[in-house]
Amino acid sequence: MNPDSSPASNQTHPAGSLLFSEVRTIPRLTPCCARAGMRPRHGRADFIHASPWQFLLFLVLLISIAGPLQGQMRAPSDSLTSTPAFPGLGHRFLGMQSCYNCHARSVKNEELAAELGLQTGDTWIAGNEMLIWSGRGSAVQETPGPPDATTTPTIDRHAQAYTSLLSEPAIRIGQLLGRPAHRDLRCLACHSAMPLNGHSTEEPGLVDQRFQTDVRLTSGVSCEGCHGPAGTHSTEVSPNAPVITESGWGTEHFTAADWRFRSPEEKHKSGYANLKSIRHRTQICLSCHSGNAGLGRVLTHEMYAAGHPPLPPFELETFQNQMPKHWREYHEKDPELRRRYELETGYVHDGEALPATRNTLVAALMTYSESQRLTADLAEGMGAAADTPADVSAGWPELARFDCYACHHDLRHEGWRKAAQAHGRPGRPRLLTWPNALAAVAFATLDPQQDPWTNHAPVHQATLKVPFGDRQSIIQTARSAADTAEAAAKRLEALSFRAAEASLATQQLLGIASTRVVDYDSARSLAWAWTVFEQERRRDDRSDTEPRIVEVEDLFPGLYLRLQQGRSDRMQIPGATQSRPVLLLDPAKTLPPAAAYDPLSFQQTMRTLQSQTSSASPAPPPSNPPPSNPPPSNPKSSPPQ
C-alpha cells in the first residue's frame, strides 16, 4: 500500500452537504406518467386526466413489478475484507468537541515559537484540521480566525451538512415529504455524523426536539462520520456478569504510545476506520454519495420528486481534493518522523509510485460494487439495521436506482440518448449507468485482454426481462457483480502504480471514452479521472514542458465540479452563541445544465487526447502485473494514519 494516498489524519467524509450543493437543469422534461395522461404533482401521479383503460394498465404494471418486500434488515457487511469498512457501530458517539483541543489549536508559527523559546519541530498532524473543515483556515493558511469578508471562504461542505437542512429548499422538501428535514432521520442519516441508533426519537422517524441544539448533531458530518465513533464500547456477556467496557480510539489515539504504529486491525478494535485502505475509504464516502441500506442512507425517488437534487457521480480523488484536504500526505511529513515510522514498522516507501491514478481505479471498482450492492439490498427488501426506524428504508422497484433520463428527457426523435442507449428492449429502463464507465477502465487496466463490460452484462440482461427488471435475477446478478468488482479492487489496491501502469490506465480510459457514446454523468466521471491521471503524470515528469490543458472546465465544458463555488454568508445554528461561515448554493456556478452536454463533442475530445497520447508515448507493458492470488497485506507495511 502506498502512503502517498494514505493521510496521517485523513477524514474523507460521507458528504451529506452535497445533497443540496448541485441542481441539475433539464429543459422540457416529460415523465412517462405525463405521456400516459397523468399530470405529475409534487412527484405523485394525478390520475384525474387518465382514461379508465390507462388507469387499469398502470395498476397491472405496478402489480407485475412490485412484489412483496421480504428479507431481514441487516447491518452493512464486508464479506471480502478482513477489516470491515464501518467500524465502531457499538462504540459511543462523542462529537467533534472532543477533537477540538488538538485539531483546532495547534498553529505552527516559527517566529512566535522563537519569541517564546519553543521548539518548532513537526508532528504527525498539522493541528489545523478543524480550522480547514470549518472554513477558518485552508491547506496553506494555518492562521486561525474568520475568513476574509471580501473573498469566498474555503469550507468543507460536510461542515454545513446540517445547516443545509435549515435552508429554504430543504424546508420546502420537508413540507412535501411531511416531515421537517432537520428532524427527519432519513435526512439526518447523511446530514450528520451521528449514527441513527444514537438518536432519540419522539415519534417514528423524527429526532427529539432537544437534539436541535446538540452540537454533536448541528456540527453536521464531523470527524467521527468518517473515522468512526470514538467513545467506549460496552459489552454485556451475560445478565449476571459485569459489563465489559473497552476504551475507544478517542482515548487510545493520544494516550497509547504505540498508536501510530498499530495495524489497522488493532485500531479497528477501538472503533477506528481504516481510511488508509482506499477500498474502505471509498465505501465510507459512498455510504452517503451513493447510499447504504444497512446504515439507513437511501435517497429515494420520492425525495427527488420533492425537490432533492440528484446525487452527482462520485470520483474519490476529485471529491477529496475539493473538500479541501485537511491532511498531509506521507511524503509531505517531516523526514525525521518518516524515518522513525519506517524504523518502527519496517515500512518501505516507494518514492516512484503514482498513487492517485491507482486510487482512482480502486475507488471506481468500489463505486460500482457499492452501487450494485445497494440495488440488490433494496430489491431484496433489506433496510436499516433492526435498531433503527424501519421507514428509513425503501421498497422495490426504487426508481432512484434507474437511469433518470430513461423517463426524463427531451422529446426528440434524434438525440444523444439514442446513440448512447445500450441495446435492449423498449420500455426497459437501465439501472444507473455512470458507475459502469470508470469501473470498465479499471477492469481493462487489470486485464487488457478481457472485455471490460463482461461483469455487468448479466445485470443488464436481468433488467430486460420485465419492466424494471426481474427482481430475483437483479438480486442475484447484482450481488455477483458487486463481489467480482470488490475482489478486483482488492487486487488493484495491492499494486504499486508507476509510470507504466499509469500510462496503461490512461490509454484504457481514452480508448473507452473515444469508442463509446456515453451519457452525461458517465462523461463527467471519465473527465474527472483523466484529469487526475494527467495532473499526476505532469507532477511526476519534471521534464514535461508541454503546455497541455488539464483543467476539466476548460477542456470539457459543462462537466466540471467546483464545490467551492457559491455565495459566502454566515448562519446562526441552534445552540451556538455566534454565527458561523457558510457557503450558500449557487447552481449556476456549481454545475452547468445537463442539457448543454454534447456527447459527440466529448467523444471527439477524447479521440484527440488519445491520438496525442499514443504519438507521445506508446503504452508499455505493466511492470508488476496483477497476481492471481495476491499475498495478504502486511500490517507492518502500512503507512501511518
* Interval 79-133: pLDDT, tens: 334 457 787 668 889 988 888 888 886 555 556 556 555 555 567 787 888 888 8
How far apart are the C-alpha atoms of 394 and 377, rounded to whole Å?
10
Residue 142 lies in a domain: no
Contacts of 206 (CB under 8 A, 6+ apart): 179, 180, 183, 184, 185
How far apart are the C-alpha atoms of 228 and 219, rounded to whole Å?
15
pLDDT computed for residue 227 by the predictor: 93
Buried b (16+ CB within 10 A) or exposed e, 468-494: bbbbebbbbbbbebbebbbebbbbbbb
By 3-state DSSP, what share of the chain in percent is helix, strand and coil, each rounded to 5?
Answer: 45, 5, 45
- Angle, CA 503 vertex, CA 502 and CA 506 arms, to 5°: 85
Number of domains in the chain: 1
Grid cell 433496510 is found at: 383
In this predicted model, which residue has the larger pLDDT, 34 or 282?
282
Percentage with pLDDT > 90 across the chain: 34
Flag whether pLDDT at 636 surpasses 80.
no
Backbone angles phi, psi at 417, to 5 degrees: -60, -35
Flag whether pLDDT at 595 surpasses 80.
no
- A 10 A CB-CB count for 462 gives 22
> Which of 230, 214, 217, 215 minimizes the C-alpha distance to 191?
217
- What integer is the mean pLDDT of 598-624? 74
DSSP, res 621: P
Flag whether pLDDT at 511 surpasses 90.
yes
3-class DSSP assignment, residue 236: strand
In DSSP terms, 234 is beta-bridged to 245
pLDDT computed for residue 392 by the predictor: 44
Under 8 Å between Cβ of 350 and 2: yes
How far apart are the C-alpha atoms of 212 and 508, rounded to whole Å?
50
> Which of 284, 324, 280, 289 minimizes the C-alpha distance to 132?
324
What is the average pLDDT value for the chain, to the nearest integer? 75
In this predicted model, which residue has the larger pLDDT, 441 or 3?
441
Residue 182 lies in a domain: yes
pLDDT computed for residue 149 by the predictor: 35
3-class DSSP assignment, residue 23: coil
SS3 per residue for 162-220: CHHHHCHHHHHHHHHHCCCCCCEHHHHHHHCCCCHHHCCEEECCEECHHHHHCHHHHCC
pLDDT computed for residue 15 by the predictor: 34
Grid cell 523559546 is found at: 117
3-class DSSP assignment, residue 234: strand
pLDDT in tens, 329-388: 888 888 888 998 999 988 888 888 999 999 999 999 999 999 999 999 999 886 544 344
How far apart are the C-alpha atoms of 137 and 133, rounded to whole Å?
8
pLDDT computed for residue 598 by the predictor: 84
DSSP, res 239: T
Residue 126 lies in a domain: no
Helix (H) or strand (E) holding 534: helix 520-540
Under 8 Å between Cβ of 384 and 490: no
> Which of 115, 291, 89, 286 minimizes the C-alpha distance to 197?
89
pLDDT in tens, 125-156: 878 888 888 877 654 333 333 333 334 447 78
> Which of 63, 76, 4 minimizes the C-alpha distance to 382?
76
Residue 527 lies in a domain: yes
pLDDT computed for residue 416 by the predictor: 60
pTM, two decimal places: 0.79
In angstroms, the Cα distances linking 91 to 22, 248, 270 are 34, 7, 8
pLDDT in tens, 529-580: 999 999 898 877 655 545 454 566 678 877 887 777 777 778 777 777 777 7
- Angle, CA 449 vertex, CA 445 and CA 453 arms, to 5°: 70
Q: Residue 359 has which C-alpha cell?
A: 486510487
pLDDT in tens, 379-437: 988 654 434 444 444 568 899 999 888 888 766 655 566 666 556 677 888 899 999 99
pLDDT computed for residue 617 by the predictor: 54
Under 8 Å between Cβ of 219 and 96: yes
Residue 64 lies in a domain: no
SS3 per residue for 253-320: HHHCCCHHHCCHHHHHCCCCCCCCCHHHHHHHHHHHHCCEHHHCECCCHHHHHHCCCCCCCCCHHHHH
Task: Give residue 505's domain range.
Answer: 3-30+71-99+158-345+353-543+552-573+586-637
pLDDT computed for residue 121 by the predictor: 55
Grid cell 477500498 is found at: 279
pLDDT in tens, 266-283: 999 899 999 989 999 999
Residue 595 lies in a domain: yes
Flag whether pLDDT at 618 surpasses 60.
no
481 band by pLDDT with thresholds 50, 70 and 90: very high
pLDDT computed for residue 630 by the predictor: 37
Under 8 Å between Cβ of 315 and 321: no
Residue 613 lies in a domain: yes
In this predicted model, which residue has the larger pLDDT, 459 or 58?
459
Contacts of 377 (CB under 8 A, 6+ apart): 293, 294
> Which of 112, 161, 106 minimizes the C-alpha distance to 129?
106
pLDDT computed for residue 133 by the predictor: 87
Q: Residue 164 has which C-alpha cell?
A: 443545509
Flag whether pLDDT at 596 surpasses 70.
yes
Percentage with pLDDT > 70 across the chain: 68
pLDDT computed for residue 148 by the predictor: 38
DSSP for 358-426? HHHHHHHHHHHHHHHHHHHHHHTT--S-TTS-GGGS--SS-GGGB-GGGTSS---SSSHHHHHPPS--T
How far apart are the C-alpha atoms of 243 and 395, rounded to whole Å?
38
Flag whether pLDDT at 262 surpasses 70.
yes
Flag whether pLDDT at 30 surpasses 50.
no
Instruction: Give the pairing type, strands 233-236 and 44-46.
Output: unpaired
In this structure, is the dihedral angle defined by the CA atoms of residues 603, 310, 319 and 291, taken in order, positive or negative?
negative
SS3 per residue for 540-606: HCCCCCCCCCCCHHHHCCCCCCCCCCCEEEEECCCCCCCCEEEEECCHHHHCCCHHHCCHHHHHHHH
12 band by pLDDT with thresholds 50, 70 and 90: very low
Under 8 Å between Cβ of 565 and 587: no
Residue 91 lies in a domain: yes
